[in-house]
């Protein structure tokens, strides 16, 4: 189940006899390479202990919405931000009803409400409850909201009835869940991504740099890897680890980034310039530390313009699909559109870096994807999620 590798999966366990099978689900998820966190409802704890799922998942099991300690450790919003997908197995008729009506009266329903990614349910209930119109209406409503419903299966039930309502077996659920990830859309494609800042040395102890944590570029690299692409990541100095499965090339200066890009661009299908490249560097590097002059109250540095990497990639013969970012503090869309045209790009991604809650350093971003024919706004969300949507958008352009 390749598609589950490196995924953050939030498993919801609700109160039905099939809850004991959730231990097996956690085991399969972990074996498939996913990180797993579990939320249990109060009634689920009557069927299986949190300790069992904690030992298998390797993470503290969350149970309470209003528990100060849990909220401080990883509350419902953090859990929703962390997850790539939610799987609720078993999903009782009660939980299905709550989700369908948008109620949030426990940790699982509240987290699901706060989550804007894919949610899958493996229903488990008595056959009469399953056939009930209200349950079926709730499920139909959830399907229109793109919830995926796995099963249920048919057979003898714990209560002795025979009919539809048994939860599918853990392995069947895992197979359906794994194939629900549309993750190989960039399979066979190679992508070059730049990230982070560049550092332009003034003397051995000082440099000029731009603000960038690397979070946006590294999330894009991760999303591209998960979409099946082969990824080369060229990055300036940052404090986060690069994704494991990429060809990682660390650089420091804008000149080094330019050279690394030009060296690796051949044969790439997509180039994404996320890096905050210094537009100017000191014209001369002082071999010795510049001394503070007691007699002068100022110091003049001469700066020279760096080559525009993005523009250079756009001008290449056999160029890839070229994507730039526009980091703007005002006239966001107008300035981004000018960059799209002036730099000869296929796509520019506009982000407002004057807003402290998005852009630089933040875990979130809010962007508009602009081509010559289309504008697509992506609301404020975690950079990991926004990266998936950006990669999906690019994949439609390069695979059609």
Using CB under 6 A, which of the segments 97-105, 147-155, 183-191, 273-281 binds ligand PMT?
Answer: 273-281
Among residues 139 and 234, whose Cβ is nearest to ligand PMT?
234
Q: Is 387 in the site for ligand PMT (CB under 6 A)?
A: no
Matching residue, tokens 């390749």: 2
Minimum distance, C-beta of residue 326 to ligand PMT, in the bound complex (Å) = 4
Nearer CB in complex with ligand PMT: 139/309: 309
Among 80, 83, 216, 265, binds ligand PMT (CB under 6 A): 216
Shortest distance (Å) from residue 278 CB to ligand PMT: 7
Segment 173-178 long-range contacts (CB within 8 Å, at least 24 positions apart): 173/25, 173/87, 173/89, 173/122, 174/1, 174/4, 174/25, 174/28, 174/29, 174/32, 175/1, 176/120, 176/148, 176/150, 177/4, 177/85, 177/87, 177/120, 177/150, 178/1, 178/2, 178/3, 178/4, 178/32
* 58 prior amide bond cis, ω within 30: no
CA-to-CA dists, residue 284 to 35, 208, 271, angstroms: 49, 13, 31
Contacting ligand PMT (CB under 6 A), which of 242, 273, 282, 320? 273
The answer to whether 246 is a known catalytic residue is no
Q: Which structure tokens are listed for 332?
A: 């966001």
Least separation in angstroms between CB 221 and ligand PMT = 12
Residues 159, 205, 283, 396: which is the catalytic one?
159
d(CA 77, CA 358): 17
CA atoms within 13 A on the CB side of 246: 28
In terms of CB distance, is 165 or 214 closer to ligand PMT? 214
List binders of ligand PMT among 308-347 (CB under 6 A). 308-310, 324-327, 339
Contact characters 146-185, ligand PMT, x per CB under 6 A: ----------------------------------------
Which is nearer to ligand PMT, 36 or 220 (by Cβ)? 220
HSE, CB side, 13 Å, CA atoms: give it for residue 201: 14
Q: Classify strands 347-352 and 321-328 as parallel, antiparallel or unpaired.
A: parallel
CB closer to ligand PMT, 108 vs 278: 278
Q: Is 85 in the site for ligand PMT (CB under 6 A)?
A: no
Stretch that binds ligand PMT, among 12-20, 127-135, 222-230, 270-278 (CB under 6 A): 270-278
The site string for ligand PMT over 340-379 (x = CB under 6 A, - otherwise) reads: -----------x-x-----xxx------------------
As measured in angstroms, the least distance from the Cβ of 294 to ligand PMT is 36
- Of 38, 276, 332, 347, the one binding ligand PMT (CB under 6 A) is 276
**Count of residues in contact with ligand PMT, rule CB under 6 A:** 27
232 makes contact with ligand PMT (CB under 6 A): no
Please list, in sequence order, all residues whose beta carbon lies within 8 angstroms of the beta carbon of residue 107, skipping any fewer than 6 positions away: 39, 41, 62, 63, 64, 65, 70, 76
- According to DSSP, the β-strands at 230-235 and 190-195 are parallel
In the complex, minimum distance from the CB of residue 368 to ligand PMT, in angstroms, rounded to a whole number: 12
What are the residues binding ligand PMT (CB under 6 A)? 212-217, 254, 273-277, 279, 306, 308-310, 324-327, 339, 351, 353, 359-361
| Catalytic positions | 159
């Amino acid at each position: 189940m390749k598609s589950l590798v490196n995924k953050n999966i939030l498993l919801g366990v609700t109160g039905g006899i099939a809850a004991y099978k959730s231990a097996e689900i956690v085991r399969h998820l972990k074996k498939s390479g996913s990180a797993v966190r579990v939320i249990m409802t109060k009634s689920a704890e009557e069927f299986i202990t949190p300790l069992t799922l904690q030992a298998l998942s390797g993470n503290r099991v969350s149970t309470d919405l209003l528990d100060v300690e849990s909220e401080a450790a990883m509350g419902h919003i953090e859990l929703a931000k962390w997850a790539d997908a939610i799987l609720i197995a078993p999903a009782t008729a009660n939980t299905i009803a709550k989700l369908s009506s948008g109620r949030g009266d426990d940790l699982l329903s509240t987290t699901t409400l706060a989550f804007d990614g894919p949610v899958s349910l493996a229903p488990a209930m008595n056959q009469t409850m399953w056939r009930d119109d209200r349950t079926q209406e709730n499920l139909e409503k959830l399907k229109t909201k793109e919830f995926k419903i796995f099963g249920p299966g048919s057979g003898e039930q714990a209560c002795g009835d025979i009919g539809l309502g048994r939860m599918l077996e853990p392995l069947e659920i895992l197979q359906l869940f794994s194939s629900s990830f549309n993750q190989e859309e960039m399979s066979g494609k190679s992508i070059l991504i730049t990230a982070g800042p560049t550092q332009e040395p003034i003397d051995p102890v000082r440099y000029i740099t731009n603000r960038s944590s690397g979070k946006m570029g590294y999330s894009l690299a991760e999303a591209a890897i998960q979409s099946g692409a082969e990824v080369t990541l060229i990055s300036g100095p940052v404090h986060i680890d690069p994704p494991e499965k990429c060809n990682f090339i660390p650089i420091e200066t804008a000149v080094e980034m330019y050279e690394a890009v030009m060296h690796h661009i051949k044969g790439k299908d997509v180039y994404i310039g996320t890096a905050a490249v210094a537009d100017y560097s000191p014209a001369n590097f002082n071999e010795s530390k510049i001394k503070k002059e007691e007699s002068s109250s100022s110091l003049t540095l001469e700066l020279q313009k760096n080559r525009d990497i993005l523009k250079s990639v756009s001008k290449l013969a056999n160029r890839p699909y070229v994507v730039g970012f526009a980091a703007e503090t005002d006239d966001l869309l107008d300035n981004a559109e000018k960059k799209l045209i002036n730099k000869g790009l296929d796509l520019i991604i506009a982000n407002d870096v004057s807003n402290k809650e998005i852009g630089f350093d933040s875990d979130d971003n809010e962007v508009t994807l602009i081509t010559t024919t289309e504008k697509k706004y992506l609301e404020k969300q975690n950079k990991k999620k926004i990266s998936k949507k950006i990669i999906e958008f690019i994949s439609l352009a390069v695979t059609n």
